[in-house]
Each structure stands twice: as structure tokens, then as C-alpha cells.
Amino acid sequence: MDQVLGQVLRNAVWERLDMLSDLAERADAPSLVSVARSELPRLAAGWRAMLQAHEPDERGDCPTCSTRWHRCKAPCSVWQVAHEHLVAGGLAPQALSAAGQRPARRRAAVPAVPGQNRRAEAPAETTGRHALVKPRPVSA
């Protein structure tokens, strides 16, 4: 059940990000101002909450990314991505794709290649833009 819920949550987030990107590309100026006023504070609050969970502890480790067996020194990948996208600006998409990670935005659903996901596969969603996308492995 957790896998199904996780897939539903991931799909909802991807759909929302796709919608916002589409609005940024296609909306007229008054619509953009309206969306910016409502969405920018929510996005900033979301980044703040995520970054707060990844604040280094007194040893300089990220408490969220660290495990019992492997300590993750700050800045963790979450802080690095935040810097790339919020501070470095236009360099982030090239940096991510060069590292072999997911690009900043997906344009369409891509079916997963069987056997490449090491986790147990959740039942696929049957509707929505990301219906064929399998859950990504979580890296610690």
C-alpha cells in the first residue's frame, strides 16, 4: 500500500510541476503575475522546509541523508541541487544531465525498462501523464 500511495504522491507532484512549467511557457502576462503571487511563496516555503530537514548537525553531517552505517557530510545533494537551481540559475539543467540524473522537467511519460529498478515494483498507475513511470530508487 505504501508503494501505491508513494506513486500517487509522486505523480501528483510531477503533474503540478509540469502544469507550472507549462504556465510559465504559455501564459499571458496577467496570468503569470497571478500564478507568481500564489505559487512563488508556496514553492519558497517548500524549499525552506526541505532544506531545514537537511541542515547539518553539530558534526557537519546531514541528518536526513545519513544512515547508521554511512554519514553524509554537508552540503548533501539536496543542498547542492538547491544551490544549482536557486543560485547558479541556468547552469543547473546541464549539470544534472551531465551527471546522468533526471533532467529538471519531464515532457512526457517514459516507460521504465524492466529489470533496472532494484526495488519491488509497485503496480503501475493506469491514468495520468506519468502513468507509465515506475518509482525511482531513493539514493541516501
DSSP for 116-134? Answer: ---SPPPPPPSSSTTTTPP
Nearest to 73 by CA among 93, 54, 97: 54
Q: Distance (Å, rounded) from C-alpha 12 to C-alpha 15?
A: 5
DSSP for 31-61? Answer: HHHHHHHHHHHHHHHHHHHHHHHT---TTSB
Averages of pLDDT over runs of 10 residues in the chain (140 residues) are 90 95 92 92 95 95 94 94 86 46 44 39 44 49
Q: Distance (Å, rounded) from C-alpha 125 to C-alpha 107?
A: 18
